[in-house]
């Protein structure tokens, strides 16, 4: 069995440690979201979060611990190698050192420019009455061309998409436009409602002279800086794929395919440089072969997000509309993926690797039943994820 973990957003999370124990969680994935990007995670703040995870509501031990960091964010200065990027590199190393001193060795991160993730609808109504997050290419084109009015945006869309986006925009009210804008900027770290259109344009402008090859080189440079520290501390870093796995808003995307991962694994050929395998992000693409990818690079997978998506609606040029499907539905064969991961785990155990057990978590979930009455983080409800974990646990148990 892989280690069953759960993402917890800290004291503001609507889900408690008591509830996680009832779900059957074995470990916790968390981050210090209140610390500014580029700043140092102090030992004091790390230990404070560990204590929060270790206690139930009545103060008794929860028996849970903080297993995986998701994420120590990589600043835009580091990604673009501008501004305070050298200071942020130094601070990142110190954060890793402080995490290791507290016994935490797995650090997930991403290298997505500006937006951590993007959806056009955070709570899309499903036929069964629940909600799911959705990315609609037509709505996104409407935002990009007409609401954001990004310069040269029309160059990213075929004529028929431009025409449909114009029709959609003409049918929208001011409230519709504001709602779409809010949903899209939800992927800006810490943004919520604070970012306006001019803020987004300003952030996009920082990448006007940075193309994919340069961003890829900057990622390699970042990892080469981190690897000596990771080797010293036995910290395993693992990069999350782009979400969605294709270019948006004219921004370069460099971790969208299995070939992108292969390049980074070969170029920074160090076991501490690894992969966060997110089946929901990479699985949006039609050309991904998860079983072959795990067979080739399984030894470098340090963390797994198991979720499913279903392509639904407009698609063009390897870009797709999709929604968050049930964990065992959608376009990805979850049974075969788990089978390949368990085989990788057995290989590690046989060869004596200390990190033979792979931490996984049920990533995202549809809002179901009592989730509908709670204001949980979009994509992170209790019942929907509990259902997903139960299904994934059943597959692992059967295959084991």
Q: Among all residues, which ones are annotated catalytic?
A: 240, 278, 305, 363-364, 380
CA pair distance 359, 366, nearest whole angstrom: 22
CA pair distance 76, 341, nearest whole angstrom: 33
Closest CA to 313 of 96, 190, 137, 53: 137
CA max distance for the chain: 62
3-state SS of the chain? Answer: CCEEEEECCCCCCCCCHHHHHHHCCCEEEECCCCCCCCCCCCHHHHHHHHHHHHECCCCCECCCCEEEEECCCCCHHHHHCCCCHHHHHHHHHHHHHHHHHCCCCEEEEECCCCCCCCCCEEEEECCCCCEEEEECHHHHHHHHHHHCCCCCHHHHCCHHHHHHHHHHHHHCCHHHHHHHHHHHHCCCCCCCCCCCHHHHHHHHHCCCCCCHHHHHHHHHHHHHHHHHHHHHHCCEEEEECCCCCCCCCCCCCCCCCHHHHHHHHHHCCCCCEEEEEEHHHHCCCCCCCHHHHHHHHHHHEEEEEECEEEEEEEEECCEEEEEEECCCCCCCCHHHHHHHHHHHHHHHHHCCCCCCCCEEEECCCCECHHHHHCCCCCCCCHHHHHHHHHHHHHHHHHHC
For tokens 């995870």, what's the residue? 53
Is residue 28 within 8 Å of 67, Cβ to Cβ?
yes
């Amino acid at each position: 069995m892989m280690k069953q973990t759960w993402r917890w957003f800290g004291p503001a999370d609507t889900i408690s440690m008591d509830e996680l124990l009832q779900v059957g969680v074995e470990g916790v994935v968390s981050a210090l979201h209140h610390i500014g990007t580029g700043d140092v995670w102090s030992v004091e703040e790390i230990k404070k979060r560990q204590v929060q995870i270790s206690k139930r509501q009545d103060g008794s031990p929860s028996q849970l611990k903080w297993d995986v960091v998701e994420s120590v964010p990589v600043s835009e200065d580091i990604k673009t190698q501008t501004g305070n990027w050298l200071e942020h590199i130094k601070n990142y190393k110190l954060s890793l050192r402080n995490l290791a001193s507290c016994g935490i060795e797995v650090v997930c991160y991403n290298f997505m420019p500006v937006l951590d993730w993007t959806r056009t609808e955070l709570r899309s109504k499903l036929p069964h009455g629940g909600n799911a997050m959705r990315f609609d290419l037509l709505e996104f084109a409407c935002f990009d061309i007409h609401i954001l009015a990004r310069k040269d945006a029309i160059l990213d869309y075929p004529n028929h998409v431009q025409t449909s986006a114009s029709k959609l925009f003409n049918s929208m009210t001011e409230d519709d436009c504001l709602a779409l804008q809010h949903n899209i900027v939800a992927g800006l770290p810490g943004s919520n409602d604070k970012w306006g259109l001019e803020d987004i344009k300003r952030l996009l402008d920082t990448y006007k002279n940075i193309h994919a090859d340069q961003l890829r080189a900057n990622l390699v440079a970042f990892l080469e800086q981190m690897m000596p520290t990771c080797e010293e501390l036995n910290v395993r870093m693992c990069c999350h794929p782009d979400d969605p796995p294709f270019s948006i808003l004219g921004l370069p995307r460099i971790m969208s395919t299995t070939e992108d991962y292969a390049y980074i694994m070969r170029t920074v050929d160090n076991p501490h440089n690894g992969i966060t395998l997110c089946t929901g992000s990479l699985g949006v693409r039609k050309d991904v072969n998860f079983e072959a990818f795990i067979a080739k690079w399984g030894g470098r997978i340090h963390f797994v997000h198991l979720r499913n998506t279903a392509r639904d609606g407009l698609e063009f040029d390897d870009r797709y509309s999709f929604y968050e499907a049930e964990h065992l539905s959608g376009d990805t064969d979850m049974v075969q993926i788990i089978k390949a991961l368990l085989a990788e785990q057995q290989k590690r155990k046989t060869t004596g690797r200390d990190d033979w057990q792979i931490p996984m978590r049920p990533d995202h979930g549809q809002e179901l039943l009592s989730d509908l009455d709670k204001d949980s983080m979009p994509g992170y409800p209790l019942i929907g994820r509990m259902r997903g974990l139960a299904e994934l646990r059943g597959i692992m148990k059967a295959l084991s």
